[in-house]
Amino acid sequence: MKIGICAFVLLGSAAVAMPSLAQDVVQQTTVVREVTTDLNQFIGRNLFGWGHANLGVVSAADRHNGVIGVTGRHGEFALISGTLLTRDGVTLYAPTLTAGDIKVASEANLAHPGAVLGAPQVLIIEPPPG
């Protein structure tokens, strides 16, 4: 009986938690559109990531493509898609990124100049009809 009650409580709490998670994603998407329109204002400012960690300084911005260039604290240079960015006033955040992500993106940029770190995407390719 206790197991059944615990399972019910866990399932009930998960159902309550899901709408707030979806709401956060929707709010974040709205903010991203705002960020990508005026990226130039963030040049020279710090970019903060997961746990408010300092990821580096925004050193370049391309508002037409929605990409910023970040120079990391140890000399890394990474291009980051605006889809990963949010802002709080004049402070720019990439809340899902860590310093390790900047290092990996920098190495990718060295191997393939112009490589941009972006949000994961799922592509569905259907076979041709017939």
Question: Torsion angle, CA of 83/88/90/92, rounded to 10 degrees?
Answer: -40
What is the per-residue pLDDT across 20-75, written as a single tens digit (0 to 9) for each?
Answer: 443 344 344 334 444 555 788 888 999 999 999 999 999 999 888 889 999 998 88
Could you tell me the pTM of the whole model? 0.62
Which has the closest alpha carbon to 115: 86, 72, 68, 79? 79
Q: Which residues contact 13 (CB under 8 A, 6 or more apart)?
A: none
Cβ burial 74-85 (10 Å sphere, 16+ → b, else e): eebbbbbbbbbb
